[in-house]
C-alpha cells in the first residue's frame, strides 16, 4: 500500500492548511535540512535553530562591547542591560507578571531543578510527591528529600495511555502535612510518552497544601504556557529545547512568594549583598541574583531574547497545530503497519490519538514472530536512512519501567544481587543481562518548529521497511 500523499493529512486535519507559513519558514531558515535530505525527528532532545537567530546574535556580538556584568562601567552596563532585557522577555513570553514571578537564569532545566531540590526546606515528615514519568533531574530531587527524612511517594502512570489515575493522585494530595512543606512535581508533557498532564492539577494541588514544581522542558517548544492563568510555584525549562540556540541556558521561573521559601545551602560570587571573612556572615541578595551563582553566560543570554522573538514570529499556536496534525497522521499510519498475519509492527507507549498529548511518540517495533526489534539496531538503521531519532529510556526510567513492564520485584532482584553490592556499580550491560529477554529501551520520534509532512512520511516509509527486515 502506498503512503497517501500530503493530501491525507489535510483530509484528516483541514487546519493543517493554516500552517503553510511554516513550510516557508523551513525553506528560509532551516534549508540545511532539505539541502542534506535529513529528517530531523528529535526535537524533544533538542530544538533546531533558525539561521537568522545565529546571524542576529553574531551581529550583536560583532558590533557590541560587552564586559562582565555586576559593575557600573559602560561595557558592564551594556551587558547588564541585555541580560535584563532577556529576563523581561522570558517573563513576557510566558505572560508572567514581574510582580508575581522571577526568572532565574540557569545552565539548563536540570540546574533549575537542582536549585529547587537543594533549597526546598524539606524536614522530617514533609513530602515529596511525583509522577512516575518524570525526567531523572526531577527524580533526583528525591535524594535531597531523603537526606532530610522527608517522605517520597510516586504516583504511577498506567498503560496503554500512560496517564495518571486521578483518584490515586487525589488520595496522595490529601496526605499533605498541615503546616509542613509538601512538594508535588510533574512534567507538563512527558518526554517519554508525550502525555500532557492537566495544568488544572496546579491549583488543585496548591489548594490541598502542596507547592507545585512544573517541569515544562518538553512542553514549551510547541505549547503555550500562560502563567497568568496557571500559576505553578516553580517552572523549569531549557531554552535549546525551545529554539535550538543558544545551548547552555535554562530557567527557573519561580513565584516570588515560593522563592522566599527556598534556602540556598551556600553562597557564591553574585548571590550575596555582603559576605565577610572575619565577621563570618553573609547576606543573600534578593530575588533572581540570590540564585545565579557566579558569572552568568552573559554573551549567550541575548540569544534567548532573539530565540523567543523567533518563536513568536513563527507563531507558537501555528507550530502547535502543525505538530498536532502531523502527530495524528503519524500515529494512524504507524498503527496501520501489520505483518502478514495481521500482527502490528508497532507498539506505541502513550495515547493513540492527539488528545492531551504532544508531538513526542515512543514505540517499539516487533518482528513477524512477535519479538521486539532491538531499539539500538532501529536507530542505526534510521541513521543510515538520514533520519535522526532517539532510543533508550530518555532519562525517564519510570516511564520506561511502565512501558516495558519491568516490575519492582524484577528491578530489586537486579539491583540487590551480591555481585552488584560488591562492585558498587551497575552498568547498562549488567541491566540488559539481568532482565534478559525484555527490552531495555524504546524508539522516540518528536516534532517541532521545522517539521513537515516529508519528515513524517519518511519515517513511516522507514518503519514499513522494518516489516521486511523484521519478517
Ligand atoms: C521533561 C524534561 N525535563 C528535564 C530535562 C532536562 O533538561 P536538560 O538536560 O536540558 O537539563 C529534559 C531533557 O530532555 C526533559 O525532557
- Ligand 1: distance of its center to the CA of 463 in Å? 27
CB contact at 8 A, 283 and 289:
no
CA-to-CA distance for 39 and 241, rounded, in angstroms? 17
pLDDT in tens, 246-288: 999 999 999 999 999 999 999 999 999 999 999 999 999 999 9
Please report the domains of the chain, with CATH numbers, ordered by start residue: 7-47+316-470 (3.90.1150.10), 57-312 (3.40.640.10)
Tell me the pLDDT tens digit for each residue of 384-403.
999 999 999 999 999 999 99
Distance between CA 297 and CA 222 in Å, rounded?
25
End-to-end, the C-alpha distance of the chain in Å comes to 17
Give the span between the Cα atoms of 341 and 15, in whole angstroms: 36
Query: Which residue, judged by its Cα, is nearest atom 12 of ligand 1?
Result: 217
Task: Quote the DSSP letter at residue 285.
Answer: P
Which of 43, 44, 107, 109 has the most ligand 1 atoms within 8 A of CB, as the residue to mutate?
A: 109
- Name the pLDDT band for 471 (thresholds 50, 70, 90): very low
Q: Is 128 helix (H, G, I), strand (E, B) or coil?
A: strand
What is the distance of C-alpha 220 from the center of its chain?
8
How far apart (Å, rounded) are the C-alpha atoms in residues 74 and 116? 34
Ligand 1 is surrounded, with C-beta below 6 A, by: 44, 108-110, 135, 137, 187, 191, 215, 217-218, 238
* Whole-number Å distance between alpha carbons of 335 and 351: 12
Distance CA(39)–CA(22), nearest Å, equals 16
User: What pLDDT digit, counting tens, does each position of 147-180 carry?
Assistant: 999 999 999 999 999 999 999 999 999 999 999 9
The alpha carbon of 198 and the centre of ligand 1 are apart by a number of angstroms equal to 19
% of the chain at pLDDT higher than 90:
90
Which of 458, 450, 460, 466 shows the shortest CA–CA distance to 31? Answer: 450
**Shortest-distance atom of ligand 1 to CA 250:** 10
Average pLDDT over residues 331-355: 97
The pLDDT-based confidence of 323 (bands split at 50, 70, 90) is very high
* Centroid of ligand 1 to alpha carbon of 293 (angstroms): 20
The residues carrying an active-site annotation are 395
From 157, 238, 397, give the residue whose CB has the most ligand 1 atoms within 8 Å, as the site to mutate.
238
Which pTM value belongs to this model?
0.96
Q: Spell 45-61 as b/e; 16+ CB within 10 A means b.
A: bbbbbbeebbebbeebe
Cα–Cα distance between 330 and 323 in angstroms, integer? Answer: 10
Helices (H), 261-315: 302-314
Which residues make Cβ contacts (< 8 Å) with residue 436, sequence separation at least 6?
none
Confidence tier at 338 by pLDDT (50, 70, 90): very high
Report how far ligand 1's centroid is from the alpha carbon of 20 (Å).
Answer: 30
SS3 63: helix
Mutate to test the pocket of ligand 1, among 42, 108, 110, 132 (most ligand atoms within 8 A of CB): 110
Q: Cα(57)–Cα(299) distance, rounded to whole angstroms?
A: 9
pLDDT digits (tens, 9 = 90+) for 93-102: 999 999 999 9
DSSP assignment of 325-341, as one string?
HHHHHHHHHHHH-B-TT
> What does the alpha-carbon distance between residue 372 and residue 63 come to, in Å, rounded to a whole number?
55
Amino acid at each position: 500500500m502506498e503512503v497517501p500523499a500530503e493530501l491525507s493529512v489535510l483530509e484528516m486535519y483541514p487546519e493543517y492548511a493554516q500552517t503553510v507559513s511554516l513550510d516557508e519558514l523551513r525553506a528560509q531558515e532551516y534549508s540545511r535540512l532539505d539541502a542534506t535530505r535529513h529528517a530531523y525527528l528529535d526535537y524533544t532532545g533538542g530544538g533546531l535553530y533558525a539561521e537568522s537567530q545565529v546571524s542576529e546574535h553574531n551581529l550583536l556580538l560583532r558590533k557590541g562591547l560587552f564586559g562582565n556584568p555586576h559593575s557600573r562601567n559602560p561595557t558592564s552596563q551594556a551587558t547588564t542591560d541585555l541580560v535584563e532585557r532577556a529576563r523581561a522577555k522570558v517573563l513576557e513570553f510566558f505572560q508572567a507578571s514581574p510582580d508575581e514571578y522571577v526568572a532565574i537564569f540557569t545552565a539548563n532545566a536540570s540546574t533549575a531543578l537542582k536549585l529547587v531540590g537543594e533549597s526546598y526546606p524539606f524536614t522530617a515528615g514533609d513530602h515529596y510527591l511525583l509522577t512516575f514519568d518524570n525526567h531523572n533531574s526531577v527524580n533526583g530531587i528525591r535524594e535531597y528529600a531523603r537526606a532530610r527524612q522527608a517522605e517520597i511517594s510516586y504516583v504511577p502512570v498506567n498503560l496503554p495511555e500512560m496517564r495518571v489515575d486521578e483518584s490515586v493522585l487525589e488520595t496522595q494530595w490529601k496526605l499533605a502535612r498541615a503546616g509542613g512543606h509538601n512538594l508535588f512535581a510533574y512534567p507538563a508533557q512527558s518526554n517519554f510518552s508525550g502525555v500532557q498532564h492537566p495544568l488544572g492539577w496546579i491549583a488543585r494541588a496548591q489548594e490541598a497544601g502542596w507547592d507545585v514544581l512544573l517541569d515544562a522542558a518538553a512542553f514549551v517548544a510547541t505549547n503555550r504556557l500562560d502563567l497568568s492563568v496557571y500559576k505553578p510555584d516553580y517552572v523549569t525549562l531549557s531554552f535549546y529545547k525551545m529554539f535550538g540556540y543558544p545551548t547552555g541556558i535554562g530557567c527557573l521561573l519561580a513565584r516570588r512568594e515560593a522563592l522566599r521559601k527556598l534556602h540556598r545551602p551556600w553562597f557564591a560570587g553574585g548571590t550575596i549583598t555582603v559576605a565577610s571573612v572575619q565577621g563570618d556572615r553573609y547576606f543573600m541578595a534578593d530575588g533572581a541574583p540570590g540564585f545565579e551563582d557566579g558569572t552568568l553566560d552573559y554573551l549567550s543570554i541575548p540569544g534567548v531574547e532573539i530565540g523567543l522573538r523567533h518563536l513568536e514570529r513563527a507563531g507558537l499556536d501555528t507550530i502547535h497545530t502543525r505538530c498536532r496534525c502531523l502527530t495524528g497522521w503519524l500515529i494512524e499510519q504507524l498503527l496501520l503497519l501489520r505483518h502478514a498475519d495481521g500482527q502490528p509492527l508497532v507498539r506505541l507507549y502513550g495515547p493513540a490519538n492527539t488528545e492531551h498529548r504532544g508531538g513526542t511518540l515512543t514505540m517499539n517495533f516487533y518482528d513477524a514472530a512477535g519479538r521486539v526489534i532491538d531499539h539500538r539496531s532501529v536507530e542505526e538503521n534510521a541513521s543510515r536512512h538520514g533520519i535522526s531519532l532517539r532510543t533508550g529510556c530518555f532519562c525517564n526510567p519510570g516511564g520506561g519501567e511502565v512501558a516495558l513492564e519491568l516490575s519492582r520485584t524484577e528491578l530489586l532482584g537486579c539491583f540487590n544481587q551480591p555481585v552488584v553490592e560488591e562492585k558498587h556499580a551497575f552498568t547498562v550491560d549488567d541491566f540488559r543481562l539481568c532482565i534478559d529477554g525484555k527490552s531495555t529501551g524504546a524508539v522516540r520520534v518528536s516534532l517541532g518548529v521545522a517539521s513537515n509532512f516529508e519528515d513524517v512520511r519518511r519515517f513511516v516509509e522507514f518503519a514499513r521497511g522494518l516489516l521486511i527486515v523484521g519478517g
